[in-house]
Amino acid sequence: MNPKQLKKLKKQHRDRQESKPADYIIELSNYATLFADYPVIKFLINNVLESDRLLKNGLLPQPLPPLLLPDTIQDQIYQKIADDYPAGDVIGDNLWDQLSEVLPKLDTLLRNYRDYLESTYGMWAYINAPFIKSLASFTCNGAVLELMAGRGFISKGLRNLNPNQQIFTTDNLDWQAKVKTILPAVTSVENLDALESVKKYGNLVQYIVLSWAPDTQQTDWDILQLIRKEYPNIQLIVIGEKDGATNSTAFWQQAELIDSDDRNQLNTNYHSFDLIDEQVYLVK
């Protein structure tokens, strides 16, 4: 599959809504019961349910494993049923029909967890607690500006870990048009355009965090040029998918990516759980 085809597939995956948010967790919980005898499936579902539980309680979730059913899952189910029931047993045959029939639906639900996160919590980048701890260690009490912060999950996590760290959080709030319900910020977020934010706070911070900048505009490239020209000592931290679902083509073409132990440490707890290969990048 060439890069353009893969990007199109990822965009279709990102834009698709197979289940209403209110039904999503109920459906997964039902599948957890249905597949209770299959640990590999139960493991994936329980990770999603626990992630949702933490977010519902105002807490950052834990990292997720890849939410993909193994290629051999049908063989595993068939073998277990064959071990539990004699050939031709009606109960075993009916169970096989039931489980094999719903596997595609379960696979779709797992792959669509990011859609659920976006519509339910306004969370695009999957911000988890261990990653925030790594980010707090990397910024080491330095002043941070979070741009395009959305609801402010990153800033909230940093503030919770270190209330004395200076954190500026801004967003122009245009993301609210992409969700169907009004979602309040999880921390204090200033309604301010990204470029104006850099101009206002650039002389006060050592780090700028830019998470999941849209790929439909070049604001990220404008931000990078402004930092290079006016604030060369600032470290830009970008979260997204290189040449994929986030950020502009111009940005990825012009960005100087720093490969370092610091970046590797940030990515230890920040890795993809679906088709979107999101990572943390240090950019100059």
pLDDT-derived band at 278 (thresholds 50, 70, 90) equals very high
Q: What is the pLDDT, as a whole number, of residue 9? A: 47
3-state secondary structure of 235: strand
> What stretch of H or E contains 279?
strand 279-283
Proportion of the chain above pLDDT 90, given as a percent: 86
3-state secondary structure of 191: strand
| Domain 129-283, CATH class in plain words | alpha beta
Query: Is the pLDDT confidence value at 8 over 50?
Result: no
Residues 6+ apart with CB under 8 A from 255: 224, 238, 281, 283, 284
Residue indicated by tokens 């050939």: 87
Phi, psi of 279 (to 5 degrees): -145, 170
Break the chain into its structural domains and give their ranges.
18-111, 129-283
Q: What is the pLDDT, as a whole number, of residue 271? A: 87
pLDDT in tens, 234-269: 999 999 999 999 999 999 999 999 999 999 999 999
Mean pLDDT along residues 205-233: 97
Q: What is the pLDDT, as a whole number, of residue 6? A: 45
pLDDT in tens, 62-116: 999 999 999 999 999 999 999 999 999 999 999 999 999 999 999 999 999 999 9
Cα(259)–Cα(56) distance, integer angstroms: 35
Cα(194)–Cα(175) distance, integer angstroms: 13
Mean pLDDT along residues 272-282: 95
Query: Is the pLDDT confidence value at 206 over 50?
Result: yes
